[in-house]
Structure 1
Amino acid sequence: MLKTRIIPCLLLKDESLVKTVKFRKYNYIGDPVNTVRIFNELEVDELMFLDIFASKENREINFSILEDIANECFMPLSYGGNIKTLEDAKRIFEIGFEKIVINSNAYHNLQLIEKISEYFGAQSIVGSIDVKKDFWGRNSLYSHHGKRKQKFKPDEWAKNLENSGVGEILITSIDNEGSWNGYDIELVNSIVSNVQVPVIANGGCGKLNHISEIVQKTNVSACSIGSMVMYQKKDMGVLVNFPDRKKLEEVLYV
Structure 2
Amino acid sequence: MSRRSSSASMLVAGMFIAGGCGGAESARVDILAASSYTDVAEPLEALLEEELGLDVEFSFGSSGSFLEQIRQGAPAAVVITADSATMQRMSDAGLVDSVVSIATNELVIVAADTAAGRGIESVTDLGSSDVLVVLCASSAPCGAATDALLGGIDLDVDAASREPNVRATLTKVRLGEADAAIVYRTDALASPELRAVPIARVDNVQVISQAAAVVGREDAARVLEVFTEPAAMAILAKAGFGSP
TM-score > 0.5, shorter chain as reference: no
Higher relative contact order (CA 8 A, sep 6+): 2
TM-score scaled by length of structure 2: 0.30
Q: Which has the larger radius of gyration?
A: 2
TM-score scaled by length of structure 1: 0.29
- Going by fraction, where is helix more abundant, 1 or 2? 2
